[in-house]
Amino acid sequence: MSDSEPDLELLELLRQHLAGKPQKASEPETGVLESAEYVYNNSIDVALDMRSCKNAAKAIYSQMQIKSYSPATWSSHELHPHPSKGDKPEDVVAFIFAMDLLNFSFWSEKSEEERFAIEYKGKKWTGYWSLVAGLQRALEEGIPITDPHFWQNEDEFTIETLRHVFRSATSEQMPLLQARLSCLREAGQILYEKYSCHPLHLITTSRHSAARLVNLLSDTFPCFNDSHFPLDTPFTRRKPIRLLKRAQILVADLWACFEGQGPYGTFHDIDKITMFADYRIPQMLNQMGCLQYSPPLETAIRLKRDIPSGSNWEIQLRACSIWCVELIRREIVKENPGAKVNAILIDFFLYDTIKEMEEEGSETVPHHRTRSIWY
């Protein structure tokens, strides 16, 4: 460098000195919690009962302690993959990615005996577990259902292939099967074009940031972009309301499966992930008295009427559930300093609890009915 050329590095240091402390690059945010608080503050059909939230926080934390609830709980289920079960880490990542591409809309109006179910290892699996069982069964049969290369092969991977993978033990078939095929096709093409056709490279791009990975998923894959401009609401802001259920649960599943360790499970900002706004957690929160509904909304839910995706009611149900779980988390941490609990673990606990209640027939209220790819 000649004497006449400016020292650009020195100039930048001088600017930082004159401006104060050097500015660090801002950490990514998903926008989900901010969206949830905004909807809650403007909600007219869903409210929170703060006393019930405090009571729920106490009860949830107590039960989580009794059951030793932790990230390891995830992989303890017989259907979930895990390296300790002999699964290769890269195969586990591929499984989780495929699983959460398809992790939506399993509810049925039929009885437990008549609803869609997968028969696997001598058991019938329903709901979310029917998805996991179907994927595991397909892999054992030699169908590469978690391979993005396979998803793009239009000769071998067809709607009939997918129908065979998720063939039911009952007369009811898996809902939204064509939409599931479209999700896999679309994701396979994007992975091929941008990430060397494997989700491992997508995860590496996130640089161990949960929020960055959620944003990559929602910004790059349309079927993960669970963001909405509500159809008929008083929410008039220009920004979309970001709920991002499946993008967030994919990150949470990676974190839980690898127990927050290693190249695919370490996320330094994992606590930025909120609960996963679906139809089961609002049901549980309402049953616990935390969520309160306006009479028209409560009537619609109890009569099992369809609530359209993106509608006023549906956005309030999902967003207020996110905010409710956040307040429960804060209450737990306030009353139990040092508690290792986040929204992910609370969500997993509430989901497992409501599924147990369903099996026992002890549900007191139904869940809301919305058929969509978002949850």
Which residues are marked as active site? 278
The identity of residue 190, as a single letter, is: I
273, 251 contact by CB (below 8 A): yes
Q: Which residue has the tokens 């869940």?
A: 367
d(C-alpha 47, C-alpha 25), whole Å: 37
d(C-alpha 347, C-alpha 175), whole Å: 24
d(C-alpha 125, C-alpha 123), whole Å: 6
285, 350 contact by CB (below 8 A): yes
Q: Which residues of 10-22 are buried (b: 16+ CB within 10 A; e: fewer)?
A: eeeeeeeeeeeee
d(C-alpha 75, C-alpha 64), whole Å: 16
**In 3D, which of 294, 300, 278, 296 has the Cα closest to residue 354?**
278
